[in-house]
Structures are given as C-alpha cells and as structure tokens.
Chains A and B, each alone.
Chain A
C-alpha cells in the first residue's frame, strides 16, 4: 500500500494512506525513513518518524509494510549495541562510518555467522510442540546457553527437525504443521512485536533478592529478581553510576542496558570497560551477558520512545529461556518526554507539565512487563527440559526530575508503580557521599521477603542489625536538628555518641565508591560484617559511657577510622580479616574497660 506525504512537522508527519492501521510500520520517501502509524484522521495517517525528517518533500511516497515495530530474537544479541530500532551500531560503523546514516536498514543479527545447534534429543518427529518450547540449544557465549524457542504464537506437529550441526539464522531447523494443516518453518531466531508483552504461563512470586553488591541496596533497600525499581535524582547525583554498578555486579544471568536519551560517552564507557570486567561469580567477561540499546540524547526523539520497548522485549525473550534478566533504563524521563513531544505535535490535550493524560498508564504498562513467571512451553514430559521452569525480568528505571523536584509527574507516577524507590539526594552528592541514596526518602517493600534469604544464606541477625542501623541514622538526624537550634552542648554524652555511631554507619557502610577497586562490589557476607562491625563499636562505646569514659576520649580511639577504612582494605574474599578485626575490636574494648576501671580506682 502506497500513499503520499501531506504534512511535515518535525518528527511527526501526515500522509494520505488509506489502509495502514495504528501501530503499522511505514517507509517514507526516497530515503526510506522508518516510521510508525500512531493515529488516523479519515484517510490521513499520523506517522511518527524514527529518523530525522530533514529534506523530506511534500508528496513523497509513503509505503506501509503491514506489520508492527518488532525485534529480531535469537543468538547473537549478547555483546551487541543496538540503536532505538534495533539496528546494530557496530555493523553500522563498518557500513556507513562514524555518523549515523538515515534510511539504512540492517538486520539486527548477523546472517552469516554459523551457530552450533544441538537438537533437543527428547523431541521426535510427530511430537506436538507449542509456543515457548525449546527445539534445542546454541551456546551463544561461554556464559549463556541459548534455548531455541518455538515462537509464542506457533504450534504444531514436528514433521522435520534438523540434526545437530552448524546453521546460520537463514537456515530452518524445524518444520511443523499446525491443526489447519499449514506448514511453518522454524529458525534459530524469530521476530516479536515490541509493544506486545511476550506471553507466559502464569506469574510466580518473586522471592530471591537481586544481589547488586551495593550495600545501600542489598542491605537497606533491597530489590527482588522480577521486581521493579526507580532511581530518581537531579543531574550529577549518581543515577547512571548506580545503573552501571547494577549492570556490572548484579547476580542476574542477562543484563540489558538501555541508554535512553542520555550521553553517548556513557555507552562508550560501558562498551570499553565491560569486556575487561570479570563477573565475580562466573569469572567470565561481563560483556558476554550484556546487551546495550542506545538512543543517545542527540539521536531522533521518536526512536527514544521505541528503545525502551526494544529493550524490554529482548529481556522477556531471555526470561522465556528460564533466565533472570535485569534491564536498566537510563532515563525513563527522556522516554516520557518523547511521548510528550509527539503528543504535543498531535495537538493532544496536555494535562500536567505538557504531558498527555496517558503518561501514567503507559508507565504502568511498561513496568508491568517486569516480574517472575512460569515460562511458556516448559513441559518436562515432552521436552526433558534443561532449563529452569521460571524466569524473571527486573526493571530499574532512572528518573530525571526537572530541577530535582520529585513532585513532577514522571517521578510521581513512577513512585506509585515501583516497589523499590532509590531516591538520590543532591546534598549527599554535593558532599560526595556516594551512592547518594537518601535513607529517609527511599523505600523497599521487599524487606521481609529478603530477610528470609539473608537469614538462610548469611546471618540470622540480618533484620535486627538493619533496623538498628536505620534507627541510629534517624536518631542522629533528629539530634542534628536540635544541635542546629541550640548547639551541641544541649546533647548528652549518649546522644553525642549516637551521632558518632551514625557517622560510622555512613562512612563505614553506606558510602561505597564505584571507583574503589576493592569496594566496588561487596558480597552479602562482607556487607553484613561491615554492618556488624560498626554496630559492635557503637554498642561497646555505649557501655564505656556507662562506666564514665568521655565521648571525646571515645572519638579519639584509632579503631574508629580503621573500621571506616575496612571496606577498602578488605575485599569480599577477605571476610576472615573482617571477622578477626571485629574480635580485635571486642578485645580492645575489653582492655579499655579494664584500664578505665583501674584509672578510676
């Protein structure tokens, strides 16, 4: 179906195009720019264009393709960087040089590469297969075994199944015949429309924490595998660093990093550093489990809107293989702004700060694609599964509120949706307290669920120590209010020691520099021991006060600063040293107690 352009207004164009329906892909003009029909007014289709519309001419041809925006899913996604419509950016450099060209349409996945396909030995001819079942496996990277899935909407009787061997994505690996008698060839990859969530059997309860190696998250505001989190914060507060830390260290199988309307150099940073970084668990290069999606701030705004969906669809695809996937999106505000821009040009009624009324529902629908699920097509009896029966998608979105004001619409709506809220504070960032996560404004609704995990895997006292630490921090905040009104003299010794205790928690536990080689990642055990250490000091000090030692004297104890430095002096492999130091602290205090008692005599 062809039509012609009747209006050009930035990224929004109109065309006389009779049959194209909403959601359909179109190609525009001589350049064959990519676009999507987003509305209709009689014979006129409203089209958002993923590429710059400069030099389009009225009357140019518009061709509708008959299918919606979709992504290619199959082996070869890992380690890649794609743009907002899944064009492979590294390949694009080879073909068109350093600048992003227009109208160039490259397949996302390499057509020439041969993959070693191992047929699922439990499958036989005449078996009936349905969506989500695994036809076999391909070793995509050393780290990841890729299940070759029957596309969710396909099913039928196997009438031919390829033998194990080398295949490209163009070679069929199975032929099935459905109930109507239609035959279908299945390949190593398939396509899926990005705006349609991939189906699963049913939802499962999220139970396991996502361990990020960051103390302020794992210990204080935990997230679950399959959970949803948001990181709001003004510029420079540390949103990107946090997302990169999560992408580096979290114990997920797959990480999808979506740079949505942010800096080009931040993606380069990931591209240059991840291949060298070694995953603490698998000891393999982090790039082997990572996919990047890049629509940087200078790339076309409409593709920004698409990039989030490209990312989450790939996440669901790996989930469907029984894997735990984390997707970080930096920043969802830029995505919302892309919505706003298109809505504005469509003349839709703005409701708050120019955003359309459907902002909240779009945000909710996006986060709804997270979760832990029983995967489709997991049938032990038929396929003798080699994968997990569950998979998860964890979504973590950065939010960039204008002026750092959390009452703006995107932050507000997001806060209603997520269960973990990591609120960043400008004051903490200005004092270089990183991660600048505010312990008063952040929350996690997953604490009691994660407590079970900590008790089972680390220490029975986890929940108790966590609340003690938080309570010290809150008390200290109250006390500082008093100090700022009437001065420190108003505080008792015990109260002044509370301030010191809170400092120990802040400097010894909460502050964790992403740039510190030793402390960038902290294992759950290290996290627990540091917390325990600071609280041991606090309680020991408390008891010294009761026998009359002064706060000044306590504050001069050299072990305080030694304890604060422990995080950088001992790695996650050196937890024995931390335990020894805790014992040392206890015996030091014992010594002080004796000395002190003698002095008093």
Chain B
C-alpha cells in the first residue's frame, strides 16, 4: 500500500449507502449551498442531478453545522433547486489508473473525450495526491538535450525538473513546446518520454495543433491528453491538472516511465481559482487572487521530481501567459517562486523575427548547476554560460548607451559588444524551428561568438578555456 492518506481509513463510512438529497437552498457562481446532512466529508465528490436529469460533478468545499458548500464543476447556471438532487459519493475525486491511458484523450475529471470506453481498473487514486516526503526525493541531475541552444547552453533542463515557459498572447510557446517534445532526449539515448498533456482553457485550434503534432511525430501512443477547451466549464480547470498529475505519477513511479508533463495554460487555471475564491468570499491578497494561490500552485508544481529507488521521473513544463507581458503579475511571480527556473519569451525578439524568442536575461534554470559540466556535458559548459550571460548583459548596457549617444561615440570595446549582441541573437538564439543542435554544437557556436570579444573582457571563463577555444583575431567582424 503506497499511499496511506485515504485508503483504508473509512470503510465504515463507505459501507453506508450513498446519500441523495434535495435540500439545496441557494446557488450562484459555481457554488451550491445546502443544509448540512450527516456523514458527509470535506473534499468529497458529489453528483448533482438537475431537473433535466443531466448530471454535474461537484466537490464539498466547506461544511458547517448548518450549511454544506459544494463547488459545481459544470457551473450552477439554471439549476432549479426544487428539482435538483445532490448525491454524495462518499469518496474524494479519484482517477482510474492503467497503462491503457496512453494514446487516449480525457476531460478534467478523467472522462473520455475520444468516444472510446472509459478506463476500467481496480487501481484508483485520489487526484489530490499527497506530498512527497523530502527525505524520499532524489535530486534531479540528468541533462536533457532539448536541441535548443538557448535552453541547453544557458538554461539547461534536467530530468525531474519543473521549468515553466513564461509567455504572452501571440508568442510561439506552443511551437517551442512541440519542438521540445520532438527533440528532447538524454545524451546518447533515443527519446523515450511518455507525455502527459494537460490543457486548461486553450482554444480548439491550439488543442488540434498539439494533437496533429504528436500524431505526425508518431508519438501519439506515448501521449495521454487531458483537455479542457476555452468553452468548457471553467471550474473543471481546477481539477484537471490534478487528474493529469495523478496519471503522471502513476506512469512515473508505478510504471517506471520518464514522463514529460505539459500544463497549458496555468494562467487560465489561476483565473478559475480566483473566480471561485471570490465567490466563496476568501480574503484576496494581490489583484484579487486569493492568499493561498501560492500553496495551491505549489500543490501542482511540486508533484514534479524524482524519488529514490524509483526509476521513473516527472519533468514538468507549464506554460504561464504573463498578463500584459508583466512578469511581476501574481501568476508568473508565484510560479517563479515555486518552479526551478523559467524560460521567458520576449515580444521584442519575436517582432525581430527571432525564433525561439527566448530572452535569456530573466531566464534561469536552477538545476543546471548539477546537470552539466565535465561528466555530463562538457567541462567548460557552466563557465561559458556565465560568460554569455555576463557579456550579453554588458552588451545591453552598451545598446542603451548607443541609443542615447549614437554608435559613433562608442569605444572600440563597446563596439565589440554591440556586434556580439547582434550575432548572439541572430545566430545563437535564432536557430529556427526545424533545427536541432547537439550540446557540443551549441557550445562551439558559443565560442564562435565569444571570439568576437577580446580575452581581456572574458573574466568568467578560465585561462585554459581561452587557450583551447577562443580565437580572437583582434579585428571587429563587421567593421
């Protein structure tokens, strides 16, 4: 018995017949209120049957001695309370687990969306999962080559990491993700990821884009999709990532698979949470989002990782749209406080036609430090990355200066930095959608670019690195 949190604790209660009542007293904004009935438990799943005999799913979110509050996933619109029946299933939301999920498409609560039969399995788990004991975790260290220089060279991803993409409307995060899915592999191995794709509130065309992509790469049999589209019930978005992650945990830690989880778009998730928390009257913290948004998001993101003595892993790449491109907005902000770095897309680079438009300055991979270097990629990797970051930051300063005083006034050294920045964006970052670079290619390109700069400004790399890889000719390239 792996998870003791729910199993086996209340047979007593389950033995009682499921309870059905018609005592709802009010409904608004997705919440249904009814008189308290004995025996129901906090967090239980509920089936609400409306007057047309349509079933809706709900969950007990508050109980007092007078009132039970139920959050209804499909919403509470046009419920005729007199003719509405509420049935308490006396269990939390659960999902059925089997490897048959691969190749399938479900909705947020695990119901098939692909016109095929539901998953039948004796193994069911609570979608909320439980927290991994930190003492049981294994530190993620294995370098994943995504084939994308801006990631591999500067913000490396490792197996078991949670690394979000901070994006904005109209930016190519979907294409980038599709490219990563296509190319990601461990050095010297074929790609063998199982993919859990969790979509919350995305458009039909985006959902189709991914589906076609998986299909054309021939990986569909290794993908399980959970889809809630923009016109599907909002509150289903709250449970969808949890359902998806319960499946991911099963694949990773029961079935030894390396799982890549894609969550898109977490901003839609957080907005659904704000909607319901406002309705419940929770005290808001910033911009109307509840104070518990941090813990709530952490309950999702922290499910990524590795566990000692288990072979699988969960690598997570959530997409977070930054409202008005504002990285300090609570959703990207709190995400950044939880995840192990972030890949930030830039509208400016995108409008210059650069793909992928990754802005490296605010991007970060916190787990890079243990996943790259001598035994994992190449000895100079960390130092080269630092040098590129530092040189690009310096080049940005020079650019600012040039925009004020013009390039004529710049010193020779400053001009080197300007050409460096230009080449860095045009060559290193702008690699294109069809191009896959090995980490060694990526590092070699980096040295090409660093060779635009004289050794006297390259204090982040070692003398040995310089002797081996730096070949400055003492002349500006594009004089």
Q: Is the CB of A432 within 8 A of B307?
A: no
A384 interface hit (Cβ, 8 Å): no
A515 to B361, CA, bound (A): 19
Which of B92, B137, B386 is packed against the most chain A CB atoms within 10 Å?
A: B137
The 6 closest A-B pairs by CB, nearest first: A403-B328, A297-B298, A431-B393, A344-B283, A487-B405, A298-B302
- Chain A stretch 353-373: residues in CB contact (< 8 A) with chain B: 353-354
Query: Does B40 sit within 8 A of A, measured CB to CB?
Result: yes
B contact residues around A56 at 8 Å (CB): 41-42
Q: Which of A2-10, A19-27, A169-177, A581-589 contacts B (4 or more CB under 8 A)?
A: A2-10
> Contact at B131–A100, with CB atoms within 8 Å?
yes
- Cβ A432 vs Cβ B401 within 8 A: no
Which residue of the partner chain A has the closest CB to B310?
A98
Measured CB to CB, the residues of A under 8 A from B are 6-10, 14, 30-31, 52-59, 81, 89-90, 92-93, 96-102, 234-236, 259, 261, 263-265, 267-269, 271-272, 294, 296-299, 301, 334, 337, 340-341, 343-344, 350, 353-354, 400, 402-405, 430-433, 483-489, 507, 513, 515, 555-556, 558, 560-561, 564-565, 568
A269 touches B139 (CB 8 A): yes
Contacts of A93 in B (CB 8 A): 133, 135-136
| Known contacts A341-B291, A430-B393; is-contact A236 B341 (Cβ 8 Å) | yes
A340 and B364 contacting across the interface, CB-CB below 8 Å: no
Return the contact of A515 from the options B3, B253, B299, B382 (Cβ within 8 A): B382
**Contact in complex: A430, B361 (CB < 8 Å):** yes
Q: With A57-B42, A337-B295 given, name 17 new contacts (CB 8 A).
A: A9-B64, A10-B62, A54-B41, A54-B42, A55-B9, A55-B42, A92-B133, A96-B4, A99-B130, A235-B337, A301-B295, A340-B285, A343-B283, A354-B283, A402-B330, A483-B401, A556-B456
- CB A405 to nearest CB in B, in angstroms, measures 7
Residues in A with CB closer than 8 Å to B386 are 432, 513
Distance, CA A485 to CA B404, complexed state (A): 7
Q: Does B2 contact A (CB under 8 A)?
A: yes
Is B366 within 8 A of A236, CB to CB?
A: yes
Chain B residues in 8 Å Cβ range of A52: 5, 128, 130
**Would A100 and B130 be within 8 Å (CB), given that A264-B137, A265-B139 are in contact?**
yes
Give the distance in Å from the alpha carbon of A54 to the alpha carbon of B94 in the complex: 13
CB distance A263 to B340 under 8 Å?
Answer: yes
The interface residues of chain B lying within 8 Å CB-to-CB of A89 are 133-135
CB contact under 8 A between A268 and B42, given known A99-B2, A337-B294? no
Distance in angstroms from B341 CB to nearest chain A CB is 7
> Roughly how many angstroms separate A430 CA and B308 CA in the complex, as a whole number?
33
- Assess whether B405 is in contact with A486, with CB atoms less than 8 Å apart: yes
Q: Given the complex of chains A and B, what is the CA–CA distance between A354 and B282 in angstroms?
A: 10
- For the complex formed, measure the closest distance between the CB of A344 and the CB atoms of chain B, giving whole angstroms: 4
CB atoms of B409 and A489 under 8 A apart: yes
A268 and B459 within 8 A (CB): no
Q: What residues of A have a CB within 8 angstroms of the CB of B337 in the complex? A: 235, 400
Per the 8 Å Cβ criterion, residues 307-354 of B in contact with A are 307-308, 310, 328-330, 333-334, 336-338, 340-342
A-side contacts of B366, CB under 8 Å: 236
> In the complex, A402 Cα to B62 Cα: how many Å?
29
The answer to whether residues A353 and B134 also contact, given A31-B9, A432-B390, A488-B411 and a CB cut-off of 8 A, is: no
Mask for B39-50, Cβ within 8 A of A = 1, else 0?
A: 111111000000
Question: B338 to A263, Cβ gap below 8 A?
Answer: yes
B389–A354 contact, CB under 8 A?
no
CB contacts (< 8 Å) of B303 on chain A: these are: 298
Alpha-carbon gap, A98 to B333, bound state (A):
30
* Chain B proximity of A106: nearest CB distance (Å): 12
- CB of B286 within 8 Å of the partner chain: yes
A8 and B42 contacting across the interface, CB-CB below 8 Å: yes
Complex CA distance for A213 and B338, rounded to whole angstroms: 28
B291 engages A337 (CB within 8 Å): yes
Interchain CA distance A515-B386 in the complex, whole Å: 11
Measured between alpha carbons, how far is A515 from B367 in the docked complex, in Å? 12
Q: Could you tell me if A353 and B286 are in contact, using CB atoms closer than 8 angstroms?
A: yes
List the A side residues contacting B186 at CB < 8 Å.
none
**In the complex, which residues of chain A have a beta carbon less than 8 angstroms from the beta carbon of B26?**
none
Chain A nearest CB, measured from B277 CB (Å): 10
Asked whether B328 lies within 8 Å of A404 as measured between CB atoms, the reply is: yes
With a CB–CB cut-off of 8 A, which chain A residues contact B65? Answer: 6-7, 58
Is the CB–CB distance between A297 and B405 below 8 Å?
Answer: no
Q: Which of A6, A334, A565 interacts with B459 by CB under 8 Å?
A: A565
Shortest beta-carbon distance, B64 to chain A, in Å?
A: 4
Establish whether residues B456 and A561, one from each chain, have CB atoms under 8 Å apart when the complex forms: yes
Q: Give 20 CB contacts A-B under 8 Å.
A: A8-B64, A9-B63, A30-B9, A53-B43, A55-B10, A92-B133, A98-B2, A99-B136, A101-B130, A235-B333, A236-B341, A261-B295, A264-B132, A264-B302, A265-B340, A298-B295, A301-B292, A354-B283, A402-B333, A561-B455
Given known A-B contacts A89-B134, A296-B302, A236 and B285 have beta carbons under 8 A apart: no
Interface residue? B29 (CB, 8 A) = no
A268 near B137 with CB under 8 A, answer yes
B221 on interface, CB distance cutoff 8 Å: no
B140 on the A face (CB < 8 A): yes
Complex CA distance for A119 and B479, rounded to whole angstroms: 82
B13 contacts partner chain A, Cβ-Cβ < 8 Å: yes
Q: Are A268 and B134 in contact (CB under 8 A)?
A: yes
Report the minimal beta-carbon distance from B229 to chain A, rounded to whole angstroms: 28
Which residues of the other chain, B, contact A59 by a CB distance below 8 angstroms? 38
Chain B 110-142 interface residues, beta-carbon cutoff 8 Å to A: 126, 128-140
* Alpha-carbon separation in the docked complex, A322 to B219 (Å): 63
Shortest Cβ distance from residue B185 to the other chain A in the assembled complex, whole angstroms: 22
Q: Contact check, A353 vs B285: say whether CB atoms are below 8 A apart.
A: yes
Considering residues A234, A265, A402, which has the most beta carbons from chain B within 10 angstroms of its beta carbon?
Answer: A265
Could you tell me the distance in whole angstroms from the C-beta of A64 to the nearest C-beta in chain B? 19
B110, chain A: closest CB distance, angstroms? 18
In whole angstroms, how far apart are the Cα atoms of A484 and B456 in the complex?
A: 24
Contact indicator B285/A354 (Cβ below 8 Å): yes
A272 and B401 contact, Cβ closer than 8 Å, known pairs A99-B5, A344-B291: no
Chain A residue at minimal CB-CB distance from B282: A344
Is B36's beta carbon under 8 Å from chain A?
A: yes
Question: Is the CB–CB distance between B64 and A7 below 8 Å?
Answer: yes
Residues of A with C-beta under 8 A to B39: 57
Closest beta carbon of chain A to B6's beta carbon, Å: 6
Is B463 close to A, CB under 8 A?
Answer: yes
Are A58 and B40 in touch, CB under 8 angstroms?
yes
Complex: how many Å from CA A405 to CA B329? 11
State whether B295 touches A97 (Cβ < 8 A): no
Q: Is B394 an interface residue (CB 8 A)?
A: yes
- Once bound together, how far apart are the Cα atoms of A320 and B302, in whole Å? 37
Q: How far is B130's CA from A102's CA once the two chains are assembled, in angstroms?
A: 9
Shortest Cβ distance from A346 into B: residue: B283
Measured in the bound complex, the distance between the Cα atoms of B454 and A560 in whole Å is: 13
Contact A298 B299 (CB under 8 A): yes
- Kindly state the separation between the CA atoms of A267 and B132 in the bound complex, as whole angstroms: 12
